Amino acid sequence: MENKEMFDGFTVHTWQEPDDKDWMACLVEMPEISAFGPSPDRAIAELSVAWEMVKESCAANGTAIPVAPSRKNYSGQFNVRIAKTLHRRLAVEAAREGVSLNALVASKLELAC
């Protein structure tokens, strides 16, 4: 089973500190959920136990189980507050290029990611 499926869409990161024999594993989106073991596979197995305990705790306490960003639905819209001067510069650039401000910013974000 692929790690993303084992961890409900969360990304797993494993590493070994230079002076340590144990391997660490954590959920990238929730680094506070972590575990260790003598090998990467064992660290991931321990992380799986920790993740199951988190889900059990949520269920017992009536709280929502965290959902991985990769599993959420997105509207494609969000608001960003920026400096007035930056807003002006972007609006001028959009007008100069003959596109909407939204299209310009979406293009810049796409290039940045």
CA–CA separation, 57 and 47 (whole Å)? 15
User: How many Cα atoms within 13 Å fall on the side-chain side of residue 1?
Assistant: 10
Q: Is residue 23 over pLDDT 80? A: yes
- The pLDDT assigned to 17 comes to 85
- The pLDDT assigned to 5 comes to 84
Contact (Cβ atoms closer than 8 angstroms) between residue 91 and residue 101: yes
Contact (Cβ atoms closer than 8 angstroms) between residue 48 and residue 42: no
Q: List pLDDT tens digits, range 25-58.
A: 999 999 999 999 999 999 999 999 999 999 999 9
CA-CA-CA-CA dihedral for 2, 75, 63, 4, to nearest 10: 10
Q: How much is the pTM? A: 0.73
In whole numbers, what is the pLDDT of the chain averaged over residues?
94
Q: Is residue 2 over pLDDT 80? A: no
